[in-house]
Structure 1
Amino acid sequence: MALNDVTKAKHAFENAVKLNPCLVASWQELLEIYRKCPQLNNIEQQDKIQLAANQLAKLKSLPPALLAVTELMHEGKLLKAEQICRHFLQNNKRHVDGMCLLAEIGIELKIYDDAEFLLASALELEPQHIQARSHYLNLLIRLGKFKAAEQQVTILLEAQPDNLSFNVAKANVLTGLGQTDKAIALFEFAIKQSETLMNANAAERMPIENNQQQVAGFYLQLGHALKAKGEIDNAVAAYQKAYQLNPSFGDAFWSLANTKTYRFNDDEISQMQTQQTNNELPLVDKVQLYFATGKAFEDRKNYDQAFKAYQDGNALQHAHNGFDIAKLEQQVEEQIKYCTKALFENRGNLGLNAPDPIFIVGLPRAGSTLLEQILASHSQVDGTMELHNILGLAARLRGRNTNSGNTSQTAVSQYPKNLAEINPEYFARFGQQFIDETQVYREQAPRFIDKMPNNFLHLGLIKLILPNAKIIDARRSPMACCFSGFKQLFAEGQEFSYSLDDIGRYYQAYLKLMRHWQDVIPGFILTVKHEDVVEDLETEVRRMLDFCGLEFEPACLEFHKTKRTIKTPSSEQVRQPIYKSATEQWRYFEPHLGPLKAALNLN
Structure 2
Amino acid sequence: MTATVTLDDALANARRLLRDQPGPALAQARAILDAAPASAEAHRIAAQALRALGREGEAQAASLAAVSAAIHDPAMIDAALALAENRLPDAEAALRARLKADATDVAAIRMLAEVAGRIGRYGDAEKLLSRALELAPGFGAARANLATVYYKQNRYAEAVETLNAVLEGDPDNPAHANLKAAALGRIGGYDEAITLYEALTRRFPAHAKLWMSYGHMLKTVGRQDDSIAAYRHALAADPGLGELWWSLANLKTIRFDAADRAAMEEALAAAEPESDARADDRLHLHFALGKAYGDAGEAEAAFRHYAAGNAIRAGQLGYDAAETRAIVDAAIATFTPAFFAARAGAGDPAPDPIFILGMPRAGSTLIEQILSCHSAIEGTMELPDIPALALGLGREVKGDGRHWIAALAEAAPEKLAEMGAAFLRRTEVQRKSGKPFYIDKLPNNWLYVPLIRLILPNARIIDARRHPLDCCWSNFRQHYAKGQAFSYGLADMGAYYRDYVRLMAHVDAVQPGTVHRVVHEALLANPEREVRALLAFLGQPFEAACLSFHANARAVRTASSEQVRRPINRDGVGQWRAYDAWLGPLRDALGPVLDAYPAVPPRFD
How high is the TM-score relative to the length of structure 1?
A: 0.80
Is residue 188 of structure 2 the alignment partner of residue 192 of structure 1?
no
- Give a deviation string over 1:342-363, Cα, whole Å, max 9, x none: 2211113111111100001111
Q: Deviations over 1:179-205 (max 9, x none)?
A: 32322222111111224xxxxxxxxxx
Q: 2:400 aligns with which of 402, 407, 411?
A: 411
Query: 2:243 maps to what in 1?
Result: 251
Structure 1 pair 320–420 and aligned structure 2 pair: CA distance change class (3 A) = closer
1:576 partnered with 2:566: yes
2:394 to 393, 398, 410: 398
Q: 1:130 to 1:251 in 2, by over 3 A?
A: farther
The answer for the alignment partner of 1:206 in structure 2 is: none
SS of the residue 2:463 aligns to: strand
Mind listing any 5+ residue stretches in structure 1 that lack a counterpart? 1-53, 196-211, 403-409
- Aligned-partner residue type, residue 251 of structure 2: T
Which segment drifts farther, 97-106 or 534-543?
A: 97-106
- Stretch deviating more after TM superposition (576-585 or 111-120): 111-120
Structure 1 vs Structure 2 CA RMSD:
2.7
Q: 2:76 corresponds to which residue?
A: 62
For residue 266 of structure 2, the aligned residue among 274, 299, 303 is 274
1:317 counterpart (301, 313, 317): 313
Counterpart-to-counterpart distance in 2, 1:245 and 1:520:
57
Letter in 2 for 1:174: L
1:106 aligns with 2:119: yes
Deviation per CA, 1:195-245: give whole Å up to 9, x if none: 4xxxxxxxxxxxxxxxx3xx2112111111111111101100000001110
Which is worse superposed, 95-104 or 258-267?
95-104
**Equivalences for residues 415-430 of structure 1 within 5 A:** 415-430=404-419
The Cα of 1:145 is off from its aligned counterpart by 3.0
Q: Displacement, 1:377?
A: 0.7
Q: Which of the residues 71, 80, 99 maps onto 2:85?
A: 71
Give the aligned partner of residue 338 of structure 1.
334
Q: Pick one of 520, 523, 535 that aligns with 1:533.
A: 523
- Count of residues in correspondence between the two structures: 516
Q: 1:413 to 1:584 in 2, by over 3 A?
A: closer
Higher Cα Rg, which structure: 2
- What residue identity is the alignment partner of 1:245? A
Match of 1:34 in 2: none
2 CA distance for matches of 1:562 and 1:360? Answer: 19
1:148 aligned partner, one-letter code: E
Distance in 2 of aligned mates of 1:261 and 1:311:
22
1:125/1:579 CA distance change after superposition, 3 Å: farther
The offset of 1:338, in angstroms, is 1.9
Equivalent in 444, 453, 461 of residue 471 of structure 1: 461
How far apart, in 2, do the equivalents of 1:561 and 1:477 lie? 27
Counterpart residue type for residue 216 of structure 2: H
Q: Is the Cα–Cα contact under 8 Å of residues 250 and 559 in structure 2 kept in the other structure?
A: yes
Question: Residue 519 of structure 1 is aligned with which of 504, 509, 528?
Answer: 509
Closer, same or farther: CA 62–570 of 1 in aligned 2, 3 Å: same
Separation (CA, whole Å) in 2 of partners of 1:125 and 1:484: 52
- What SS is found at the alignment partner of 1:456? helix
Map 1:73-472 → 2, pairs under 5 A: 95-107=108-120, 123=133, 126-195=136-205, 212=206, 215-277=207-269, 278-279=271-272, 282-399=278-395, 411=400, 414-442=403-431, 443-472=433-462
Secondary structure in 1 aligned to 2:554?
Answer: coil
Shift of the alpha carbon at 1:247? Answer: 1.4
Q: How does 1:30-41 map to 2 (within 5 A)?
A: none
Tell me how far apart the structure 2 counterparts of residues 308 and 225 of structure 1 sit (CA, whole Å): 31
Cα distance in 2 between the residues matched to 1:348 and 1:284:
48
Distance 1:563 1:162 in 2: 33
User: Alignment identity in percent?
Assistant: 40
Q: Give 1:114 shift.
A: 5.9
* Residues 393, 401 of structure 2: 8 Å contact kept: no
Report if the CA contact (8 A) 1:295-1:306 is conserved: yes
Q: What is the TM-score when the length of structure 2 is the normalising length?
A: 0.80
The alpha-carbon deviation at position 466 of structure 1 amounts to 0.6
Report the equivalent of 2:598: none
Quote the Cα distance in structure 1 between the aligned partners of 2:99 and 2:75: 20
Residue 143 and residue 291 in structure 1: after superposition, are their counterparts in 2 closer, same or farther (change >3 A)? farther
Letter in 2 for 1:274: E
Mapped to 1, the partners of 2:166 and 2:437 lie a distance apart of 34
Distance 1:312 1:225 in 2: 29
Shift in CA distance, 502/377, structure 1 to aligned 2, threshold 3 Å: same
The one-letter code matched in structure 2 to 1:391 is P
Question: 2 CA distance for matches of 1:125 and 1:430?
Answer: 33
Farther-moved stretch of structure 1 (166-175 vs 479-488): 166-175
Query: 1:89, 1:98 within 8 Å by CA — same for their partners in 2?
Result: no
Quickly say closer, same or farther: Cα 1:329–1:259, change in 2 above 3 A: same
SS in 2 for 1:416: helix
Partner amino acid for 1:165?
A
* Equivalence for 1:19: none
Partner Cα distance (1:422, 1:538) in 2? 42
User: In the alignment, is the contact (CA less than 8 A) between 1:66 and 1:85 conserved in 2?
Assistant: no
Quote how far apart the aligned CAs of 1:335 are.
1.5
Q: Measure the CA separation in 2 of the matches of 1:415 and 1:231.
A: 41
Change (3 A) 1:594 1:67: same
Distance 2:259 2:571 in 1: 28
Task: Please tell me whether the aligned partners of residues 106 and 114 of structure 1 are also in contact (alpha carbons under 8 angstroms).
Answer: no
- Contact kept? 1:85, 1:98, Cα under 8 Å: no
Question: In the alignment, residue 358 of structure 2 is paired with which amino acid?
Answer: G
In 2, the alpha carbon distance for the partners of 1:578 and 1:431 equals 35
Q: Structure 1 residue 422: deviation in Å?
A: 2.4
One-letter amino acid of the counterpart of residue 309, structure 1 = H
Instruction: Quote the offset at 1:268 in angstroms.
Output: 1.9
- Aligned-partner Cα distance in 2 for 1:512–1:340: 14
Q: CA 1:548 to 1:130, structure 2 compared with 1: closer, same or farther past 3 Å?
A: same
**CA separation of 1:379 and 1:247: change in aligned 2, threshold 3 A:** same
Which runs of no fewer than 5 residues in structure 2 stay unpaired? Answer: 1-67, 596-605
> Could you tell me whether the CA contact under 8 Å between 1:69 and 1:85 is conserved in 2?
no
Deviations 1:68-114 (A, max 9, x none): 465345xxxx7x6798699769958775235423332333xxx6666
Counterpart AA for 1:159: G
Structure 1 range deviating more: 479-488 or 262-271: 262-271
Instruction: Tell me which amino acid in the other structure corresponds to 1:370.
Output: L
